Amino acid sequence: MPSYQGINQPVPQCVQGWPTYLLGTFDYGAATGLYTITNVARTATTATVTIAVKSGNVPVVNQLINVLCDNTNFNVTGAQTKITAVSVNATTGIGTIQYTTSGFGEIVSVAATGQVQALVPEVGETLVNVTSMPTALQANTGANNAQTITFEVTLSGGTPTATVAVQKAMNNIDSEYVDAGAGTNLNFTAAAGTKSYTAVDLRDRFVRFVISGVSGGSSPTIVAKVLC
């Protein structure tokens, strides 16, 4: 999303149980990718799987995958493995994906059968020094209107450096925003990855992210979301 301007711009409301993306996006209407396997190979720790797209979109780098192959050395489950490289013809849907494996030797390309499931990816936006648009928090019933809110930030693209501050305010006025509490500055020092912060009994009505100190990386991107 673009930097929040604050003039005649609606503020999205954080809905319980659904992530609200303030930086980056997720396509809830996209289908999980399903690809059939025709060949497999392994060089060093890199598995190369030849696929044909059966349904969903062409895979992309950093997409989480599950692999079920008749050559069980290539199997990965639990959606903890990311695609490291893609070479797929967008017209025919045929090509290769690569991911990191361990525990077995090198294999020259051989025929194989099975399928790959690729989960719908979050799409990051360019990592720059910016203030995100805010999201409004619902007021819970009860004497304290208490809420436990989780903030999660993922940086990708080489080894970027950045500080992501989680801020809160009772009113959506720029000068009223303050850090949400101790530990709310999520510091990335020459490393991609995911960091999170959970605010307990947060009673303010608006929250946002402030990105600063951006440097390094290789076309780095950011996904920043709020879960209330």
Domain segments of the chain as ranges: 20-27+123-227, 33-119
Exposure class string for 23-52: b at 16+ Cβ within 10 A, else e: bbeeeeeeeebebebbebbbeeeebbbbbe
Residue-level pLDDT at 160? 96
Q: What is the pLDDT along the chain (228 residues), one digit of tens a residue?
A: 445 455 556 898 998 888 999 999 998 888 899 999 999 999 999 999 999 999 998 998 888 999 999 999 999 987 678 899 999 998 999 999 999 988 778 899 999 999 999 998 889 999 999 999 999 997 664 555 558 899 999 999 999 999 999 999 999 999 999 999 877 789 999 999 999 999 988 889 999 999 999 999 999 999 999 998
CATH number of 20-27+123-227: 2.60.120.1110
Could you say which DSSP state residue 175 is in? Answer: G
Amino acid at 40: V
CA distance 117 to 129: 35
| DSSP code per residue over 94-159 | EEEEEEE--SS--EEEEE--EEEEEPPPEE-EE--SEEPPPEEPPPPSSSS----EEEEEEEESSS
- CATH 3.30.70 describes domain 33-119: no
- Residue 184: CB atoms within 10 Å: 17
Backbone φ and ψ of 20, nearest 5°: -105, 115
CA distance 119 to 133: 27
CA distance 175 to 183: 21
Q: Which of 62, 56, 152, 47 is nearest to 110 (CA)?
A: 47
Residue-level pLDDT at 79? 67
Residue-level pLDDT at 30? 83
Residue-level pLDDT at 116? 97
Tokens of 102: 């361990």
